[in-house]
């Protein structure tokens, strides 16, 4: 039993885990955007796993090309998957489609033109591994950015685990491909490749199957109680509400959940749990912005403040600058602050 045998065992195990993950993403009848992107990422991974172990006769088959192109999309799909999972405000836009299509096109040029015509290594790296690493880096940033403000505890833990495991292994795999001597790659490279993928999938499976948290892949909802709060969280939520409405604590720029927990004299994990389970909020900044936007709406609709600059209103409410205020306001009200003021003062 040599390297080829063990490579086949590992690839078969990895494919089985991928199919289980796909079934997990597809459960419920109406998969979320995150789940759909997860299924696409798994499809790309299956194509990537299959090709190195395919029989030699398949290498020259035209059916290899679409599978190869699909596998090349994996780093881009990882970026979109991580962005949609960890950013509740994420929306697929044309630039996302173009980025993934551009990655696949550059990979196709590298393999079907560059390798065939003898491009130098640095040119091959410029067209394929470097763009792949760049999109993987964006996925890692999406997983780590805002971790402290994440109120879904299972998802918060998943950020670090998946960022280190998935992102790290994609970096290793893509980096190794730069030095792989042609196609098909040697058995030793295939074994390292399949072992890395198997390790990644085992950890991902533990994350998604082991925690069994229904909120882990849930679509974001407006802040409202969706889960029953713990029995002892009622007084804590009342104190928190008082701090926000009477003391207007939300006005403090850069306010963190750590600072609020210290002010209330409770462990941070308990405050996270109370806000998430008792109020349905999934992100601490979004929770604060609900108060800030409410105050801004009142000011914009007040005839006595018609001449107060919008920037002043935003800063008074706790926003650090105009751009995040405009984004948050449009997301809540469906229009710009200027439009909202004009409509409110007309009525």
Q: What is the pLDDT of residues 212-264, one digit of tens each?
A: 455 555 555 544 444 444 557 889 999 999 999 999 999 998 899 999 999 99
Residue 223 placed within a domain: no
Q: What is the pLDDT of residues 68-124, one digit of tens each?
A: 899 899 889 989 998 998 888 888 999 999 999 999 999 899 888 887 788 887 787
The answer as to whether 268 is a domain residue is yes
CB environment 61-99: b (16+ within 10 A), e (fewer): eeeeeebbbbbbbbbbbbbbbbbbbbebebeeeeebeeb
CB 208 within 8 Å of CB 216: yes
- Among residues 178, 210, 242, the one where a domain terminates is 210
Domain co-membership, 90 together with 164: yes
Q: Which two tokens stand for residue 79?
A: 């970026």
CB neighbour burial string for 229-251, b if at least 16 within 10 angstroms, e if fewer: beeebeebbeebeeebeeeebbb
Structure tokens at 116: 């065939």
Name the residue among 304, 303, 324, 325 with its Cα closest to residue 314.
325
What pLDDT is recorded for position 221? 52
Tokens standing for residue 259: 């600072």
Q: What is the DSSP letter of 321?
A: S
Judge if 18 and 62 occupy the same domain: yes
- Please report whether residue 108 resides in a domain: yes
Q: Give yes or no: residues 258 and 323 share one domain.
A: yes
Point out the domain boundary residue: 175, 210, 245: 210
Cα distances (angstroms) measured from residue 249 to each of 241, 254, 258, 330: 10, 11, 13, 23
Confidence class for position 181, pLDDT limits 50, 70, 90: low
- In this structure, of 21-30, 32-41, 141-150, 280-289, the range with the lowest mean pLDDT score is 21-30
Please state the pTM of the whole predicted model. Answer: 0.78
Question: In the beta sheet, which residues pair with residue 283?
Answer: 150
| CATH number of the domain bearing residue 73 | 1.20.1070.10
Is residue 168 within 8 A of residue 141, CB to CB? The reply is no
Distance between CA atoms of 318 and 24, rounded to whole angstroms? Answer: 40
In a domain, 194, yes or no: yes
Neighbours of 330 (CB within 10 A): 14
Residue 7 tokens, joined: 């490579």
Residue that terminates a domain, selected from 180, 210, 240: 210
Strand, helix or coil for residue 307 = coil
Q: Are residues 131 and 57 in the same domain?
A: yes
Calpha distance 304→72 (Å, rounded): 59
Instruction: Find the mean pLDDT for residues 163-183.
Output: 65
- Nearby residues of 346 by Cβ (< 8 Å), 6 or more positions away: none
The pLDDT assigned to 228 comes to: 47
Domain count, the chain: 2
DSSP 247-295: S-GGGSTT--HHHHHHHHTS-HHHHHHIIIIIH--SBHHHHHHHHHHHH
* Cα 335–Cα 336–Cα 338 angle in degrees, nearest 5: 125
What is the tens place of the pLDDT at every residue in 130-152? 888 889 889 888 888 888 899 98
Q: Are residues 262 and 191 in the same domain?
A: no
> For 52-79, what is each residue's pLDDT tens digit?
767 767 666 787 889 889 989 988 998 9
Alpha-carbon distance values, 153 to 60, 228, 263, 269 (Å): 48, 15, 21, 8
Domain carrying residue 148: 3-210
């Amino acid at each position: 039993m040599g390297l080829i045998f063990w490579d086949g065992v590992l690839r078969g195990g990895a494919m089985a885990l991928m199919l289980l993950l796909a079934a997990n993403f597809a459960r419920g009848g109406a998969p979320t955007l995150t789940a759909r992107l997860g299924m696409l990422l798994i499809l790309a991974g299956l194509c990537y796993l299959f090709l190195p172990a395919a029989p030699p006769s398949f290498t020259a088959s035209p059916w290899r090309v679409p599978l190869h192109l699909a596998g090349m999309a994996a780093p881009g799909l990882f970026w979109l998957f991580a962005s949609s999972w960890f950013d509740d405000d994420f929306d697929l836009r044309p630039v996302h489609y173009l980025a993934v299509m551009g990655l696949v096109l550059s990979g196709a040029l590298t393999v079907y033109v560059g390798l065939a015509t003898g491009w130098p290594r640095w040119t091959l790296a410029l067209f394929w591994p470097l763009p792949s690493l760049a999109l993987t880096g964006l996925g890692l940033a999406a997983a780590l950015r805002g971790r402290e403000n994440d109120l879904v505890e299972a998802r918060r833990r998943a950020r670090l685990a998946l960022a280190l495991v998935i992102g790290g292994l994609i970096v290793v795999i893509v980096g190794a491909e730069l030095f792989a001597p042609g196609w098909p790659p040697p058995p030793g490279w295939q074994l390292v490749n399949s072992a890395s993928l198997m390790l990644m999938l085992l950890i991902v499976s533990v994350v998604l199957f082991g925690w069994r948290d229904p909120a882990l892949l849930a679509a974001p909802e407006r802040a409202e109680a969706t889960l029953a709060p713990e029995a002892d969280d009622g007084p804590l939520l009342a104190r928190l509400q008082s701090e926000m409405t009477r003391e207007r604590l939300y006005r403090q720029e850069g306010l963190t959940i750590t600072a609020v927990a210290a002010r209330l004299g409770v462990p941070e994990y308990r405050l996270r749990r109370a806000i998430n389970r008792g109020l349905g909020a999934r992100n601490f900044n979004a929770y604060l912005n609900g108060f800030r936007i409410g105050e801004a709406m009142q000011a914009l609709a007040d005839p006595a403040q018609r001449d107060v600059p919008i920037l002043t209103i935003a800063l008074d409410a706790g926003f650090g600058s105009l751009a995040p205020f405009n984004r948050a306001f449009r997301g809540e009200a469906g229009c710009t602050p200027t439009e909202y003021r004009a409509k409110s003062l007309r009525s």
